Amino acid sequence: MAGPRTVIRGGMLVDGTSDVPRRADLAMQDGVITAIGEVSPQSDDVVIDASRRYLMPGFIDTHTHADGAVFREDVQRALLKQGVTTVIAGQDGVSYAPGDGAYSTEYFAALDGPHPTYAGGGVAGLLASYDRTTPINVGYLIPAGTVRHEVKGYSSGEASTGEIAAMQGLIEQGLAEGALGLSTGLDYVPGIYQNTAELIEMNRPIAERDGLYVSHMRGGYGANARVGTDEITAIAEATGVRVHVSHYVGPSDLLLELIDDMVSHSVDLSFDAYPYRRSSSLLTMKLLPRELLLGSSSRVSETLNDPEQRRKLLEQWFPALEQNTGLAPDWFDTFSLAHIAAKEYDWAHGMTVGAAASRAGSDPVTFALDLLVASRMEVGVVMQSRIQRTYDDLAKLFRHPAHTAGSDGIYLGRNPHPRAWGTFAKFLRVFTRERGDFTWNDAARHLSGRAASRFGLVGRGVLKTGAIADVVLVDPERVSDEATYEHPTTEAVGVDDVFVGGRQVLAAGQLTGEKAGRAIRRARQTE
């Protein structure tokens, strides 16, 4: 027996395929769109008035660290108030599955945080945890670093033939259980130790099954981006795998040139980028030698607490920090403390490392090391770039047809990066309404349609009859990001009604309690 029908009337349809918005009603029933055009409501229909609003396909965040946070109501509101109905988790090479989740919960504690229920069961078990437990759809990438840790533990050595085969087995199993592809974080441990040959072998099962290789590239971005893009080209040429580059940031002219180079080598390419000038990451990844991060948090803490080991770091590592890591000598004045897992340092949230050190009567390096020990390495930072790129420069990259929107959102800490609360609303306010870099239909394609196509999210990304009814009502004159670096968790405005799988999850700006989200399992298969 069919369920009740919902009819949205009086709005303008921005379906992601047309050139201009058009007046149309939309009907949905049993999770799919059943009619578009002139729809006459029946007596038992639920009717929604969309006057002066645009109907758009639910937005897809192609890069997020909401893996464990998506169960929190404040995070659900943060996403839905921007129109985000689907997130892609498992980013940067580290997350819960495969394994029992302990490695991710420890090493990526300041990025992903803990999962409230997952303690094993592989990709299948993790995906099951997202079914009907949240209003947000969740897709998952197999994290290459987690796979390596399952096989090699805390080892920096090259993988043997047998270890490569074991990794491929875990990847094949994850794909069979519904993962969308493979992710790498090649500036993190253990990704930094995964050489190109190993990555080629890990990507063979991905290519064979038409998955997507999603990469936080090696060697940083910006002026060093060619190091990463050359490696991506080598992997794609060897395997034929489709590629998606994570948080592709830096001078747009250079990055666009590198895109052209990759495409000229027949790389099937897309990328995500967010509309902010600052970035965010783990303090450990930016500050400590990679060799030190091979061990558990307890082991790293012991090392930093050991007087002799600390003396060596202070005398040998930190004086050459710019050469070792690329950090400027004044790094401590450009790193603000986003998340600190030590209550005695609550007062330091939102302060730069330098300002907090001064208040504590310490020098910045000693303060940072003490902070890491007290937090068992769980410290996140927001980092100000040396070069503040203009919106004109950012827009060059955003307008590229391979671009998708990804927030790189981190939902932990008292002063996180505002991109988690504002990315999609900022794309609509600044780059659509105010500047006109996107038409509204361009926005639908960049924020939804292209992502659905690249990640194999069948039935999503456009509004058409038969599509899954992920629908967002947007006030084009009011939609705006409100989150700032000073107040980073302020919710966006202008999106008050959202439907996921045809069920209303946000009504008049409030959560309805509907847990309509699904784990999105891989549909693109060639086997």
Selection from 90, 29, 33, 80 nearest residue 59 by Cα: 80
The predicted structure's pLDDT at residue 385? 82
Cα(499)–Cα(30) distance, integer angstroms: 12
- 527 pLDDT exceeds 60? no
Kindly give, in sequence order, each residue whose CB lies less than 8 Å from that of residue 446, ignoring residues fewer than 6 positions away: 398, 403, 404, 405, 427, 438
| Homologous superfamily in CATH for domain 57-278+386-511 | Metal-dependent hydrolases (3.20.20.140)
For residue 143, say if its preceding peptide bond is cis, omega within 30 degrees of 0: no
Task: Specify whether the CB–CB gap between 212 and 404 falls below 8 A.
Answer: no
Task: Specify whether the CB–CB gap between 448 and 85 falls below 8 A.
Answer: no
Task: Specify whether the CB–CB gap between 269 and 402 falls below 8 A.
Answer: yes
- pLDDT, one tens digit per residue, over 251-297 is 999 999 999 999 999 999 999 999 999 999 999 999 999 999 988 89
**Which phi and psi (to 5°) does residue 48 adopt?**
-115, 130
The predicted structure's pLDDT at residue 1? 66
Strands in 379-383's sheet, in edge-to-edge order, are 279-282, 379-383, 335-340
Beta bridge partners of 27: 7, 35
Which structure tokens are listed for 125? Answer: 């078990």
Which structure tokens are listed for 51? Answer: 């006057």
Which of helix, strand or coil describes residue 97?
coil
DSSP E strand stretches across 54-134: 54-57, 59-61, 84-89
- 525 pLDDT exceeds 50? no
Residue type, 158: E
Average pLDDT over residues 368-386: 94
The predicted structure's pLDDT at residue 19? 83
Cα(116)–Cα(139) distance, integer angstroms: 17
State the span(s) of the chain assigned CATH 3.20.20.140.
57-278+386-511
- 386 pLDDT exceeds 80? no
% the chain with pLDDT above 70: 99
Residue 511: left (phi > 0), alpha (psi -120 to 50), or beta?
beta
- 190 pLDDT exceeds 50? yes
**What is the SS3 string spanning 339-378?**
EECCHHHHHHCCCEHHHHHHHHCCCHHHHHHHHHHHCCCC
Residue 331 DSSP class: G
The predicted structure's pLDDT at residue 295? 85
Average pLDDT over residues 14-42: 95
- 526 pLDDT exceeds 50? no
pLDDT-derived band at 388, boundaries 50, 70, 90? confident
Range of weakest confidence among 40-54, 211-225, 451-465: 211-225
Cα(136)–Cα(126) distance, integer angstroms: 15
Which of helix, strand or coil describes residue 70?
helix
What does the DSSP assignment read for 146-195? HHHHHHH-S--SPPPHHHHHHHHHHHHHHHHTT--EEEEETTSTTGGG--
Residue 39: left (phi > 0), alpha (psi -120 to 50), or beta?
beta
Cα(368)–Cα(374) distance, integer angstroms: 10
Selection from 439, 445, 455, 471 nearest residue 520 by Cα: 455
**Which phi and psi (to 5°) does residue 186 adopt?**
-85, 5
- What angle do helix axes 225-239 and 196-208 make, rounded to 10 degrees? 50
CA distances from 507 to 36, 52, 134, 421 (A): 21, 16, 16, 18
SS3 percent helix, strand, coil of the chain, rounded to 5, is 40, 20, 40
Average pLDDT over residues 480-499: 98
The predicted structure's pLDDT at residue 524? 54
- 61 pLDDT exceeds 70? yes
Average pLDDT over residues 496-507: 98
The predicted structure's pLDDT at residue 389? 85
Strands 22-23 and 279-282, sheet pairing: unpaired
The predicted structure's pLDDT at residue 391? 95
Instruction: Give the highest mean pLDDT range of 101-105, 144-148, 292-296.
Output: 144-148
Average pLDDT over residues 382-400: 91
Give me the residue label for tokens 């830096």: 250
Give me the residue label for tokens 């783990």: 282
In the chain, the N- to C-terminal Cα span, in Å, equals 35
